[in-house]
Structure 1
């Protein structure tokens, strides 16, 4: 079977790997779509993602959906061969419909598809066949196309962040700084949670058009449009993952407001003026991946076909170099998908 493998900085290949034989308590999924995430881009370009460095060839990918190919003899699961599914990338995974508070996203010792944070590395989902645990699977409604369902993992990240904000979202005036895939999906999640007005800000015009299509009430192209006044938002969601964006978020939020750090910031010490956070009693929240939100993400994607706008490009495995180059260019893309297999 073919898989997308990062072997080090600047060394990304599609290679043949042995096809897995399904264990008795597991299932095999034929992967149809995989979404390219920022962590995949870092592994491919730099050979590392934050503090986690590639020390052995790593199959990338954790935003994957597909079709059940086979079921182990002892697997306890409602899924059967031919069922279309989304995949929770964490192990141990929460059970479908699990109770909030399990916290698989912050438990020590857990693993995540396509991650060099463990040794041996946890191999990812950009592969034609993937062995999974029964609790990793979420059945897809008939009305949800697999192409849109590939957004389930990043939408879960956005939903988890909005859930971290709690009741402060309802009726709030919100700024989302960074309108890439996570930022645009955060816009949709915030509107669904009751935000009164959501402004999306980005350096590029193209992602702002996506943010508007999925629910943004206003958009600001930084460096081109007039910028929001300091202290003019109840909540700011930092979704760009860069220090200047966080600095701006702390300036734009009102006294007593809340900043959600949704983007992944660089590892190591960062130069951020925190004095204003203290003096203005700002709440700063972190958000790590997601926990039980995949079920909610699947339902939301089925109900909101306008979220198709977040998918900007689709490439085949034979076009993986072009796919990663497009995904790295935020002026030309939003969410880039790899078409790994067929649905039928």
Structure 2
């Protein structure tokens, strides 16, 4: 079978892979679509994501949907589990369940988690950009009625956005600022609106990115490089930094009201990042991190089933054999938002 494998910085290949062994408690899934994530692009362009560096070839991908083929051993789907032939989304995280974070109900920051397509541990956890994958059966979620696999491929990044908005606390009736209108930033817009935000302002450098943010439900669009843009608000109640650059965090800290909340969602470059810490003190701003997600995955699927506007964020679907061109397109935010790989094309 074919799979999309990163061998090193800039070395992305579509390789022939052996069929995966399916053990007890696992399901074999035929992957249909996989979303190209910012972390996939970092592995391709930089050989790592933050402090996670490539040390061996890695099948990329963690935003995947497909069809259940079979179950390993005699386990079967389990009570209520999706039967063979069911369309499913795959929750990409396997938390350990025993560390202090898992016990405390914060499994998304489990210190010993396994995450599809991640170089955080060695051996690396191979990802979902392959024709067939074996995953823990408990990580399968049957697609709700009315949700097709193409839109369902957004479930993982939408879960990230839902978690970030929840980290901010209640946003109902409030003005939310989102810095960065990449795929995650656009999904944060949708998540904030779904949570009752009265107004969402989005900043970005690229006009095309801001158009996608508008499709996601943004009320005000601001060119981040234009201090004279009339859309700049005097202040906001809550801010979510989704660009992953220090300048975005600085904007959030300077525009959020006194006593407001800033959520850092974008992954900043490794090492030290300067920020206006004096404002955190003098304005009693709460600065919170947001990393991945947990139970939000089920909520994301329900929201995707109910809201067709998410289709507008899928800018291209590219056959697996053309993976490198798909990555190049996904990296060019002047031309794309979310790019999907089609594993069956």
Aligned residue for 2:237, secondary structure, equals strand
Counterpart check, 1:264 vs 2:248: no
Q: Pick one of 325, 334, 340 that aligns with 1:331.
A: 334
If the length of structure 1 is used for normalisation, what is the TM-score? 0.94
Q: Deviations over 1:219-278 (max 9, x none)?
A: 112235616557511111111111111111111111111111111111111111211111
Counterpart check, 1:111 vs 2:118: no
If the length of structure 2 is used for normalisation, what is the TM-score? 0.94
Q: Contact 2:95–2:112 at 8 Å: present in 1 too? A: no
Aligned residue for 2:169, secondary structure, equals helix
Q: Contact 2:2–2:131 at 8 Å: present in 1 too? A: yes
Whole-angstrom CA distance in 1 between matches of 2:265 and 2:239: 10
Partner of 2:220: 218
Counterpart check, 1:16 vs 2:16: yes
Q: Alpha carbons of 1:28 and 1:103: their partners in 2 closer, same or farther (altered >3 Å)? A: same
Q: Pick one of 283, 296, 299 that aligns with 2:299.
A: 296
Whole-angstrom CA distance in 2 between matches of 1:145 and 1:229: 38
Q: Contact 2:59–2:126 at 8 Å: present in 1 too? A: yes
Counterparts of 1:177-188 in structure 2, within 5 Å, are 177-188=179-190
Counterpart check, 1:163 vs 2:146: no
Structure 2 residues without counterparts, runs of 5 or longer: none
Whole-angstrom CA distance in 1 between matches of 2:274 and 2:320: 40
- Superposition misfits of 4+ residues, deviation over 6 angstroms: none
* Alignment size in residue pairs: 337
Q: Pick one of 190, 211, 214 that aligns with 1:209.
A: 211
Partner of 2:247: 244
Q: Contact 1:230–1:254 at 8 Å: present in 2 too? A: no
Counterparts of 1:75-224 in structure 2, within 5 Å, are 75-77=76-78, 78-92=81-95, 102-167=105-170, 169-224=171-226
Whole-angstrom CA distance in 2 between matches of 1:285 and 1:53: 25
Residue 140 of structure 1 deviates from its aligned partner by 0.1
Q: Pick one of 276, 284, 294 that aligns with 2:279.
A: 276
Structure 1 residues without counterparts, runs of 5 or longer: none
